[in-house]
A and B are shown apart, each in its own frame.
Chain A
């Protein structure tokens, strides 16, 4: 087990380094740079700026310097926000996005999974059709439409929550629902189909034949087995939702991290592009790693030991 973990950690570091390198060189292929302004800057001023940020060094040196700093956990200064570092930006934005994301994932789990089970148990009944219709809506309605609708109804219409902003519990509700919309629908559909499949398995028939109550059959025998596909999607989902959504953060004016995945590219804020990309990829590979570990716990047949082949 320990050997497995060690090997995975090493490969995770390698993956992140590859992502960092690919991003570093690809973003430098973009036309224009961080100091392109509608009011063009005099050449000497650009020279001063490039000197300050070491952009006048040869590209290989910039790369080596960047990777060196990265290995020490230093993501460098932001080009756009003059008094801020990229570490600073992530430290400020991630807790906000993660808090919102946690609520959204929680909603997705406590609503999506029961809905899916319910639909599977009432297969082809009106409950099933209703859940699947709502899930179809949830998957296909874009989040910006959902956000605006929620804001119109609950903030401008009913005045039960503030329209936007951050800092109070009430301000979390609408963005969390918006953010949870897709995962709820997605989980419900996933749980429904896995449940249907599991219910056809022989051990379920056996359990029923033993005379176990239906609830015991579902919760003890079936549920555990549908958790594997759920956990598989939950890992990357958490990585994606916790790092924030540009659209949701923009519409609800939330000071999270999601905005930087878009704005840093428009601003050609090189260090921020790299920083947030690396942060997301690190989180993603870490979540996948956790998922793999959970498999072993969920399914005793999966064991991370090296098989001795004699």
Chain B
């Protein structure tokens, strides 16, 4: 009896202890404050050097570029109030509006010139410097060799190979001292005065006004940044010019932004405070969302997604990305296009998106995803010329092709391996495809998962047969998907090479006329989809946990979130 009594007492104590700690649900009367899960600690917040989407989702709140992408994914005037473009589409003249940095000084064309040259300079070693290679002389400057305070082109030998020499145990690039690159003269960006910026491009880049809204091309405050290379490490010296201002950064925990009172377009900004959390675990994020700690989250537990979409707690946004399999075309039997096509056609994409990924993904029957504008206004690259290059789950044709290649019903087909980087999602998809190929074609393959670094290494050294891959666009143009497959391209991990393809990509790059340019890109995609070094599976989507009280939430097809026009209601 006494024991029972003491148990009850303990229970009462515990209940009162935890009860006393109960969370009182705070009345969120339409305070214009939002909490969002960024899901990860940013690698950095200096727009010139970061490459990731989480980083961009910080930078785009605190910076404003020459242009800003609107809710229809089109560039609109921002710090530039207007511009003129020359007939050859290579020279842009931007006129800047009155705008201010958070330290009260005006944003000038000099800040842009400084920021772009800074991002390109070899010593800052920006990973995304190639986003500025479109600017005349940009690539040469980024690849130059610094001697003292001057920059030189790397010397080449008689065959045109870049020269290096041994210095101790170290290979050092040899500068050609006759070919100096003077950043003040040889780069196509120049502030004519405080309010006018002249940009001269290497090629008539059709999507340049999209790029000027991109983090790498954001201005930085020259007066601050040139004196302090740690300016982006500390909230106090993080001088910015965007709709919001960063006031707190607790590493791996959270970031707090408030509305920027010096922003030129502050009347449009309704949110007074944004808190970004860095919750990596998807289930934790969901628990925090459902208990009211988060209003939105960029990571969503995929297994729960269909339920969350049905209940209205999650929304699926389009995403410019393609999930596909690489085929090593240098290896037998994959050097035979009929084999690659048989593999391609024997995949049931609709089955994969419906029962495995379940995030509203669209089966890919071409390579470039939906959602990129074609030459004519309102048109879409995917649907403009040829929407589909093949039929999903076309087993009969697949069997015929495999037989023509010499493997009727898969007889004699060597066993091979599907490589993927360790992840449950990739595993489930690989298992499904393994089954489909077995059942439909009678060929056997094994699965192999590798840790990220090892997988990348094997992929790049072509040490695989078939490998999982994915590509997310860098900018809103088909070129970001197509120029990677040129001969020897850094991301062309298939060994595939096609001269006609290379020529079409080069032509698209040099062509000013939008129609002719798009025609070249369409022709290039057709070659890619005829030779099939890759097997497209589906087009990505980008789901977000989103509370109904968040209005005007915008996430671009590149995955960039912009809170400028959002509000709580």
Contacts and interface: CB of A to CB of B under 8 A. Distances in A.
A45 interface: yes
Interface residues of B, number: 61
Interface stretch (A32-40, A66-74, A114-122, A132-140): A32-40
Contacts of A165: 253, 277, 279, 288, 293
A162 B253 CA distance: 15
A256 B253 CA distance: 9
Interface stretch (A49-57, A194-202, A205-213): A49-57
Contacts of A92: 251-252
B125 A159 contact: no
A58 B167 CA distance: 11
Contact of A36 (B49, B233, B453): B453
Contacts of A47: 173
A154 B18 contact: yes
Contact of A61 (B43, B169, B454): B169
Interface stretch (A2-10, A81-89, A98-106, A230-238): A81-89
Contact of B125 (A37, A48, A84, A173): A48
Contacts of A58: 168-170
B126 A45 contact: yes
Contact of A163 (B125, B130, B284, B471): B284
B23 A253 contact: no
Contacts of A37: 51, 127, 456
- Which interface residue of B127, B280, B491 has the most chain A CB atoms within 10 A? B127
A281 to B, nearest CB: 23
B22 A41 contact: no
A250 B281 contact: yes
Contacts of B250: 255
Given A61-B169, A83-B44, A159 B460 contact: no
A167 interface: yes
Nearest to B454: A31
A42 B140 CA distance: 13
B125 A42 contact: no
A252 interface: yes
A160 interface: yes
Contacts of A160: 18-19, 21-23
Interface of B: 18-19, 21-23, 41, 43-46, 49-51, 122-127, 129-130, 142-143, 168-171, 173, 230, 232-233, 250-253, 277-281, 283-284, 287-288, 290-291, 293, 451-454, 456-458, 460, 469-471, 474, 490-491
A131 to B, nearest CB: 15
B23 A170 contact: yes
B456 A81 contact: no
Nearest to B55: A82
A255 B255 CA distance: 12
Given A31-B454, A48-B125, A255 B21 contact: no
A250 to B, nearest CB: 5
B161 to A, nearest CB: 13
Interface residues of A, number: 60
Contact of B44 (A40, A49, A82, A161): A82
A161 B18 CA distance: 8
A3 to B, nearest CB: 43
Contacts of B169: 57-58, 60-61
Contacts of A35: 127
Contacts of A252: 284
A44 interface: yes
Given A164-B288, A253-B281, 16 more contacts: A38-B471, A39-B471, A48-B129, A56-B171, A82-B43, A82-B50, A83-B44, A83-B45, A89-B251, A154-B18, A159-B22, A159-B291, A161-B21, A173-B21, A251-B284, A253-B278
B373 to A, nearest CB: 22
Contacts of A158: 18
Contacts of A45: 125-127, 129-130, 142
A286 B18 CA distance: 37
A124 interface: no
B293 A164 contact: yes
A151 interface: yes
5 contacts: A31-B454, A48-B129, A160-B21, A161-B18, A163-B284
Interface string A240-266: 000000000011110110010000001
Contacts of A12: none
A279 to B, nearest CB: 16
Contact of B451 (A173, A250, A266): A266
A81 B41 contact: yes
Given A56-B171, A255-B251, A156 B291 contact: yes
Contacts of B451: 266
Contacts of A250: 280-281, 284
A166 to B, nearest CB: 5
Contact of A155 (B251, B281, B291, B469): B291
B232 to A, nearest CB: 6
Contacts of B230: 83
Contacts of B130: 42, 45
A80 interface: yes
Given A57-B170, A161-B23, A38 B470 contact: yes
Given A92-B251, A151-B287, A167-B253, A44 B142 contact: yes
Contact of B453 (A32, A56, A173): A32
Contacts of A159: 22-23, 291
B279 A253 contact: yes
Contacts of B453: 30-33, 36, 266, 268
Contact of A52 (B46, B125, B143, B233): B125
Contacts of A49: 125, 127
A287 interface: no
Contacts of A266: 451-453
B253 to A, nearest CB: 4
